[in-house]
Amino acid sequence: MASKRPCSGNDDKQQQQKLSPSGLPIHKIPGSYGVPFLSPLRDRLDYFYFQGAEQFFRSRIARAGGATVLRLNMPPGPFISGDPRVVALLDARSFRALLDDSLVDKSGTLDGTYLPSLRLFGGHLPLAFLDAADPRHAKLKRVALRLAASRARHVAPAFASAFAATFAAVESGLEASGAAGVEFNKHNARHMLDFTCAALFGGAPPSKAIGGGAAGMAIKWLAFQIHPLASGAIKPWPLEELLLHTFRLPPFLVRRDYAELTDYFAGVAAGVLDAAAENDVTRDELLHNLVFLAIFNAYGGFKIFLPHLVKWLARGGAELHARLAAEVRAAVGEQVIVTVAAVEKMPLVKSVVWEALRMNPPVEFQYGRARRDMVVESHDAAYEVRKGEMLFGWQPMATRDERVFRRGGEFVADRFAAEDEEERRRMLEHVVWSNGPENGEAAEGNKQCPGKDMVVAVGRLMVAELFRRYDTFAATVEENTLEPVVTFTSLTKAAADAAGRGGDGEA
C-alpha cells in the first residue's frame, strides 16, 4: 500500500488561504499611516504641492506593490481633521463599495475626514451629510426630488438665457482684448448662479435681487466649507498652507453674506417652504437645506463641471467641433432655444458629456465608514475591512480604470456613441460621478444625487448651444485643483448667426 505523500509547507499555506465570495485571495491591506502628526502633515504637502493628487496616489500604489486597496492619510490632517487615516479604494471594482448604502455609512462624510461648522448651515446638518438610513434623509430627499421634477421644464429656457449672457460677455471681451483672450470661468460663475436659481425657483435672479456681488457671496460661503481641500488659491504655498490647511476659517466672517443669501432664498423658495409641514420638516431646516442644495450641490457643481467640459471641447479641435455642429443643427432646426428633448436626439453630444463626467467628476472623492466587518474586492485580490474604518475613493482613478475602459486615461469624444447598447450600458455602470451609476436613479433611500438628471441636461445644453451658435473656437487651459481656468482666444460664429447679427463671423 502506497504511503500518503506528506503535505509541504506551501500546501499548508494554500489550504489555509482564505478566499473572497468570488474566489479572490484575501490579503492584508498594504500601506502605512506612518508616524502620528508628522506623516499626515508630510502626506498633505505631497498631495497639494510636491506631487499633486494623481501622483500622490500612484506613488502609494507603487509602494504597496501595485495594490489598489491600501492604507494612507488623506488631507487635511492636522489640525483640522481628527483622524486622517483611510482605506483607499483606487480602482473601479473596489470603488463600488462606496456606492453600496448597505456597506457604508455616510453620516458626516461629505467632506471626508472633517465636518464643517454647522454655523455655516444655520445650525442644521444638510441632506448631503446625512446617511441614507437617517429618517431625516428620506424627508429632505423627497423635497429635493419633487423640486427637481416640478422644475424640469424650466431648465432649458433658463439655461438659454444664462448662456446668451455668458457668451455675449465673452464676445465683447474678445473684441476689446483681442489676442489676450477672455476667461470663461468668471462669466460662468456669475451667470450660472442666476441660472440655478431661475431653474429651481423662478423669481428675480440673485444678480438683481442681491446685486452684482451675489456670486461672490456664494463663492465665499463655499470657500469657508471646502478650503481645507483646495490649493492654488494663495501664493506662495507656505502661506496658503498656514491660512487654508492648518486651521478652520471662522464662520463669523461669512455670517453676513450667508444671511443675505438665506433671505433671498426665503423669498424665491416661499412656495417650497410652505410645504415644509407636509414633509414633516421645519421651515427653518428646509430653508437652509435649499440654500445648500442650490449653492453647494447645483451651483458649485456647474461652476466646476462646465469649465472641464469646455476644456475637453477645446482640446477636441476643429474636426470634433464640425461633427458636433452638424449634429446639433440637424436636431435643433429652427427652434428658438435648444430643448432637453432635442438633445436626446444627439448621440455625439450625449457621449461628449458622459465622457467629460467620466474624466472629471465634479466631486473627485467619496467617503464612507464601514457598517460592519466586510471584504472589499479589487480586480486581482480581496481585503478585509473592519467595522468603523473610513473608506475613501479618488473617483478619477476609478472612472479612468483601464480594466474597465479601453484607453481609459484619454478623452474619447464618441466613446458612448460608437458602442452597441449592451456595451454602453456596461460602461455607464462605471460612470459614477453622481454617487451612483449613470444608468441608476436617485431615490429617497439612496445617496445618489437628486439633481443628477439636471446636471447631465445642462452639460448637453451647453454643448448644443455652443455649437448651434459657433462653428469652432480656441481656448487655452490652465489646470487647477478644483477647476481648470479656460480662456477663450477666438470664437467663430456660425454663418447664419453671423449674418443675422451683421457680424463678420469672428470674435
Ranges of residues in the chain whose predicted pLDDT is under 50: 1-9, 11-12, 14-15, 499, 501-503
Would residue 232 be called left, alpha or beta, if left means φ above 0 and alpha means ψ between -120 and 50 degrees?
Answer: left
What's the pLDDT at 317? Answer: 96
Give dist(CA 305, CA 362) in Å, integer.
5
89, 432 in Cβ contact below 8 A? no
What's the pLDDT at 336? Answer: 84
What's the pLDDT at 419? Answer: 77
What's the pLDDT at 297? Answer: 96
Give dist(CA 218, CA 200) in Å, integer.
16
What's the pLDDT at 331? Answer: 96
Give alpha helix (H) positions in 132-282. Answer: 135-150, 155-177, 184-200, 206-209, 214-226, 237-244, 255-268, 270-274
384, 318 in Cβ contact below 8 A? no
What's the pLDDT at 225? Answer: 97
What's the pLDDT at 20? Answer: 87
**Measured between alpha carbons, how far is residue 340 from residues 144, 192, 460 in Å?**
20, 18, 8
DSSP string, 295-317: IIIIIHHHHHHHHHHHHHHHHHH
H or E stretch covering 493:
strand 485-493
Here the cell at position 378 is 479589487
What's the pLDDT at 279? Answer: 84
Kindly give the pairing relationship between strand 85-89 and strand 390-394: parallel
What three-state secondary structure class fits 84? coil
What's the pLDDT at 505? Answer: 61
Question: What's 374-421 look like in SS3?
Answer: EEEECCCCEEEECCCCEEEEEHHHHHCCCCCCCCCCCCCCCHHHHCCH
Here the cell at position 279 is 414633509
Question: What's 426-489 look like in SS3?
Answer: HHHCCCCCCCCCCCCCCCCCCCCCCCHHHHHHHHHHHHHHHHHHEEEEEEEEECCCCCCEEEEE
What are the pLDDT digits (tens) for 123-167? 999 999 999 999 999 999 999 999 999 999 999 999 999 999 999
Record the pTM: 0.93
Count the helices and strands in the chain (H runs, E runs). Answer: 21, 11
